[in-house]
C-alpha cells in the first residue's frame, strides 16, 4: 500500500496557501497548516477544505513550537508561505518584517534540521528582492538589490535558504515569485481594489476609483498557476531556485481598463488620482524570465492576463450580489 505523503504549509489562511492546500489534497496528501492564532485567523479562503486540513497554532518567532509542530505533523514537505506581502506593512514596522520574513525562515529551517533533515523545504521569495535591478528581465542570476524593508527581509530569507542547502545539505529551495493574483487576493492590494471597485460601481455601490500611479507596470500571473510550480520544485531530485513569472508586464492602467471593460464601463469616467506614500520611484521594470522553470519543471502559466482580471471581477460581482441578497432577506 502506498504511504500518503504529508505536507505542512505555513500561513495556511493566505491566498497562495489556500490554492496549494487544494492542489496537495487533490494529489492525495495529508495537509496541515500553521497560523499564528487560530482563534483570530480568517479561514474564509479554505472554507471548502477546512475539515480536511489540520491546523496548528505556531509562531515563526518561536522555534520550540515549530519543532513541536514538526514532530506532531511529521511532514515530508514544508512550504513556507507565511509573510505579510503588503509593502506598506514593512515600512510601518520594518523590525517586525525582518523578524517574520527574514529570521522566521531561519527558525523554521533550524527546526527542520533539528527534527528531520530529510524534510523538503520550499521558501516563497519575491521579485521585490531585485528592487533597483541592474537588468530587465530578471532571472536566477540577477544581482539582488532590494529597495524596501520587505525586499530586504525576503533577501535574507532567500540567502539563508541557500546557506542551509549548501552547508547543511537540506533539500531547500526558493521560488522568486513575481506578482500573482486571484479572487482570493486581499482588498488592500491594488489589483483587488480595482476589481472590487469596478464591481461596486457596476452595481451602484460606489461612484469612483481612487488610484495612484497608473503607469507602474507589473508581471501579473494567476496564483493557482504558481503553487503548481512550488509543488513541482519539491518533486525534483535536486533542490534549485527558480524565477516564477509570466515574462510579460502590464500597467496599472491596463488592469483598470480591462477590469472595467469586463462590466461594460470606462474606468476613466470614475478615476480619481491619489498619492502613494512610502513607494520609491521605479527606474527598472520588474519582469521575470521564467525560462528555467519552463525547461526544468515543464511549467508555464495557463491563465492569461485578461482571463485573470475577468476571473477576479466576476468573483467580486458574485460576492457583492450574494451579500446584497443576504441583506435583503434579513
Same domain assignment for residues 253 and 121: no
Between 80-94, 128-142, 257-271, 287-301, the lowest mean confidence (pLDDT) is in 80-94
CATH of the domain at 172: 3.40.50.720
Please give the Cα distance from 211 to 275 (Å, whole number).
8
Q: Classify residue 291: in a domain, yes or no.
A: no
Same domain assignment for residues 162 and 41: yes
Number of domains in the chain: 2
- Say which residue the cell 477544505 belongs to: 49
Same domain assignment for residues 31 and 60: yes
- Angle, helix 104-115 to helix 149-167, in steps of 10 degrees: 20
- Condensed to tens digits (0 to 9), the pLDDT of residues 70-127 reads 999 999 999 999 876 555 666 667 888 889 999 999 999 999 999 999 999 999 999 9
pLDDT confidence band for 1 (50 / 70 / 90): very low
Please give the Cα distance from 205 to 191 (Å, whole number).
18
Domain that residue 39 falls in: 6-181+222-244
Please give the Cα distance from 284 to 278 (Å, whole number).
17
Partners of 250 in beta bridges: 218
Q: What is the number of alpha carbons within 13 Å of residue 181 lying toward its C-beta?
A: 26
Q: Classify residue 151: in a domain, yes or no.
A: yes
Same domain assignment for residues 210 and 226: no
Check if 226 is active-site.
Answer: no
CA dihedral 171, 172, 176, 179 (to 10 degrees): 100
Cell of residue 155, nine digits: 533577501
CATH of the domain at 325: 3.90.25.10
Q: Classify residue 296: in a domain, yes or no.
A: no
pLDDT confidence band for 4 (50 / 70 / 90): confident
Indicate the average pLDDT of the chain: 93
Same domain assignment for residues 258 and 239: no
Strand-pair category, 217-218 with 250-251: antiparallel
pLDDT confidence band for 2 (50 / 70 / 90): low
Same domain assignment for residues 239 and 256: no
Please give the Cα distance from 16 to 161 (Å, whole number).
20
Same domain assignment for residues 164 and 49: yes
Reported as type and span, the H/E element at residue 63 is: helix 63-73
- Among 171, 223, 300, smallest CA distance to 21 is for 223
Q: Classify residue 295: in a domain, yes or no.
A: no
pTM for the predicted model, two decimal places = 0.94
Please name the residues in contact with 315: beta carbons below 8 A apart, sequence gap of 6 or more: 183, 195
Q: Classify residue 100: in a domain, yes or no.
A: yes
pLDDT above 70: residue 173: yes
pLDDT above 80: residue 198: yes
Q: Classify residue 240: in a domain, yes or no.
A: yes
**Contact predicate 123/157, CB 8 Å:** yes
Same domain assignment for residues 115 and 164: yes
pLDDT above 80: residue 278: no
The residue annotated as part of the active site, out of 22, 67, 77, 128, is 128
**Contact predicate 36/10, CB 8 Å:** no
pLDDT above 70: residue 205: yes
**Contact predicate 129/146, CB 8 Å:** yes
- Say which residue the cell 481598463 belongs to: 257
The residue annotated as part of the active site, out of 125, 126, 133, 182, is 126
Check if 188 is active-site.
Answer: no
Same domain assignment for residues 156 and 258: no
Check if 150 is active-site.
Answer: yes
Q: Classify residue 298: in a domain, yes or no.
A: no
Same domain assignment for residues 159 and 197: no
The residue annotated as part of the active site, out of 19, 29, 150, 164, is 150
Same domain assignment for residues 273 and 196: yes
Partners of 222 in beta bridges: 181
Q: Classify residue 292: in a domain, yes or no.
A: no
Burial class (CB in 10 A: 0-12, 13-18, 19+), 291: middle
pLDDT above 60: residue 279: no
Same domain assignment for residues 177 and 315: no
Cell of residue 35, nine digits: 497560523
Amino acid at each position: 500500500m502506498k504511504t500518503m505523503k504529508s505536507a505542512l504549509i505555513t500561513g495556511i489562511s493566505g491566498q497562495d496557501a489556500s490554492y496549494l492546500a487544494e492542489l496537495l489534497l487533490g494529489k492525495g496528501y495529508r495537509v496541515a497548516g500553521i497560523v499564528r492564532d487560530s482563534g483570530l485567523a480568517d479561514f474564509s479562503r479554505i472554507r471548502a477544505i477546512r475539515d480536511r486540513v489540520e491546523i496548528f497554532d505556531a509562531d515563526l518567532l518561536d522555534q520550540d513550537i515549530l519543532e513541536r509542530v514538526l514532530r506532531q505533523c511529521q511532514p515530508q514537505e514544508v512550504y513556507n508561505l507565511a509573510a505579510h506581502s503588503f509593502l506598506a506593512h514593512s515600512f510601518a514596522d520594518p523590525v517586525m518584517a525582518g523578524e517574520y520574513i527574514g529570521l522566521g525562515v531561519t527558525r523554521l529551517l533550524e527546526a527542520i534540521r533539528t527534527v528531520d533533515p530529510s524534510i523538503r523545504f520550499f521558501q516563497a521569495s519575491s521579485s521585490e528582492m531585485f528592487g533597483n535591478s541592474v537588468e530587465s528581465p530578471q532571472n536566477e542570476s540577477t544581482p539582488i538589490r532590494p529597495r524596501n524593508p520587505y525586499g530586504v527581509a525576503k533577501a535574507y530569507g532567500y540567502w539563508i535558504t541557500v546557506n542551509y542547502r549548501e552547508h547543511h545539505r537540506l533539500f531547500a529551495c526558493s521560488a522568486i515569485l513575481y506578482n500573482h493574483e486571484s479572487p482570493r487576493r486581499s482588498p488592500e492590494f491594488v489589483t483587488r481594489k480595482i476589481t472590487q471597485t469596478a464591481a461596486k460601481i457596476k452595481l451602484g455601490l460606489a461612484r469612483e476609483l481612487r488610484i495612484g500611479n497608473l503607469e507602474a507596470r507589473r508581471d501579473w500571473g494567476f496564483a493557482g498557476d504558481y503553487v503548481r510550480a512550488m509543488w513541482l520544485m519539491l518533486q525534483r531530485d535536486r533542490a534549485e531556485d527558480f524565477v516564477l513569472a509570466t515574462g510579460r508586464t502590464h500597467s496599472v492602467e491596463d488592469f483598470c481598463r480591462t477590469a472595467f471593460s469586463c462590466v461594460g464601463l470606462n474606468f476613466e469616467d470614475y478615476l480619481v488620482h491619489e498619492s502613494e506614500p512610502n513607494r520609491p520611484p521605479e527606474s527598472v521594470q520588474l519582469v521575470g524570465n521564467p525560462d528555467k522553470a519552463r525547461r526544468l519543471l515543464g511549467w508555464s502559466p495557463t491563465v492569461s492576463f485578461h482571463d485573470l482580471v475577468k476571473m477576479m471581477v466576476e468573483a467580486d460581482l458574485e460576492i457583492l450580489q450574494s451579500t446584497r441578497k443576504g441583506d435583503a432577506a434579513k
